[in-house]
Amino acid sequence: MRLQNEQVARLEDYAYQIRRLSLEMITCGQWGHPGGSLSMAEIMAVLYFQMMKVDPKNPDLEERDRFFLSKAHASPALYATLALKGFFPIDDLYRYCQIGGIEGHTDMRRTKGLESSGGSLGMGLSIAVGAAWGVRKRELSQSRIYCLIGDGESSSGNIWEAAMAAGHYHLDNLVAILDYNKVMAKGFVWDEMAIEPVREKWEAFGWDVVEVDGHDIQELYGAFYRARWVMPRGKPIMVIAHTVKGRGIDKTEFNYKWHTQHPSPQETDEMLRELSLRYGKPEQGYSRLEG
């Protein structure tokens, strides 16, 4: 199953906007994780604007799809996606990490559209497994549970306990996505805690596995389409998305220093001008640059 060219262009534009808004809100909040937010933009664009059944006007619809961000420090990309989808005004993004504004780690009690709150890494897949079990018990056969996990948190035992449970209970309504951007806070994943062979590990836990280029809209859509309509056969599905940490900006790509670092307004202006040109857009800098 392939998307039309105009559909691909539309989703690429959403990925651009997600990256742009992520950088702007991190700059406003003077805190955040740009690297992991930039790496997941296409994943979010395809899920929320092509694949998932969610309605901002009816966010509690029982038969909705549900998305859980396990790597919750990458909340800027999720917040940007939810705002673009219409769950709350885009202006709310500019109060990121400010008193009374949206939280650095996701807080479902305060922000519309969130299915869980974030904190310690490694917890999200366990929550998603519980949701998948609950949805199945309620016989909501059209609902799917999606969970985005990080490669750094994949060294956590919680992840593998959840993976074992999902395989044991044959939760084929669960789709996990690994944002495999290869970089953690202090360097490359394989230097901190090697997680390879990734595919074989998930298969050993009873999952069907698909590997894709995590920045290729067609490959992502094909994987999510198969996961929803073709592959469910008593196994949960893992989509390994090979991505680039800090994707879209030369100096942030595969650079661990941009795992946790907020750019100055001047740096953001330069980054956004580079990003706009990279996407073939008119050159546009930081919208809130003073002077």
Q: Is residue 291 one of the residues assigned to a domain? A: no
Query: Torsion over CA of 82, 35, 22 and 287, rounded to 10 degrees?
Result: -170
| Total structural domains within the chain | 1
Neighbours of 110 (CB within 10 A): 12
pLDDT in tens, 132-142: 999 999 988 88
Which of 60-69, 88-97, 117-126, 237-246 has the lowest average pLDDT? 117-126
Q: Is residue 288 one of the residues assigned to a domain? A: no
- Give the pLDDT score at 41: 98
**CATH code of the domain covering residue 45:** 3.40.50.970
pLDDT at residue 232 greater than cutoff 80:
no
pLDDT at residue 258 greater than cutoff 70:
yes
Average model confidence (pLDDT) for the chain?
93
Alpha-helical regions (H) of 169-257: 189-192, 198-204, 217-225
Q: Is residue 197 one of the residues assigned to a domain? A: yes
Which of 96-110, 207-221, 258-272 has the lowest average pLDDT? 96-110
Q: Is residue 138 one of the residues assigned to a domain? A: yes
Q: Is residue 222 one of the residues assigned to a domain? A: yes
Tell me the sheet residues that pair with 238. Answer: 176, 209
Mean per-residue pLDDT, 28-37: 89
pLDDT in tens, 179-200: 999 988 777 888 888 899 999 9
Q: Is residue 290 one of the residues assigned to a domain? A: no
pLDDT at residue 68 greater than cutoff 90:
yes
pLDDT at residue 231 greater than cutoff 80:
no
- Give the pLDDT score at 290: 58
By residue range, what is the domain housing residue 27? 5-278
Q: Is residue 285 one of the residues assigned to a domain? A: no
Distance CA 264, CA 34 (A): 12
Tokens read off for 139: 């016989």
Q: Is residue 107 one of the residues assigned to a domain? A: yes
List all residues 6 or more positions away from 47 whose beta carbon is below 8 Å from its beta carbon. Answer: 67, 146, 224
**Owner of token pair 């998307």:** 3
Q: Which parts of the chain are beta strand (E)?
A: 66-69, 145-150, 174-180, 208-213, 237-242
30 vs 213, more confident: 213
Which of 40-44, 103-107, 223-227 has the lowest average pLDDT? 103-107
- Give the pLDDT score at 291: 44
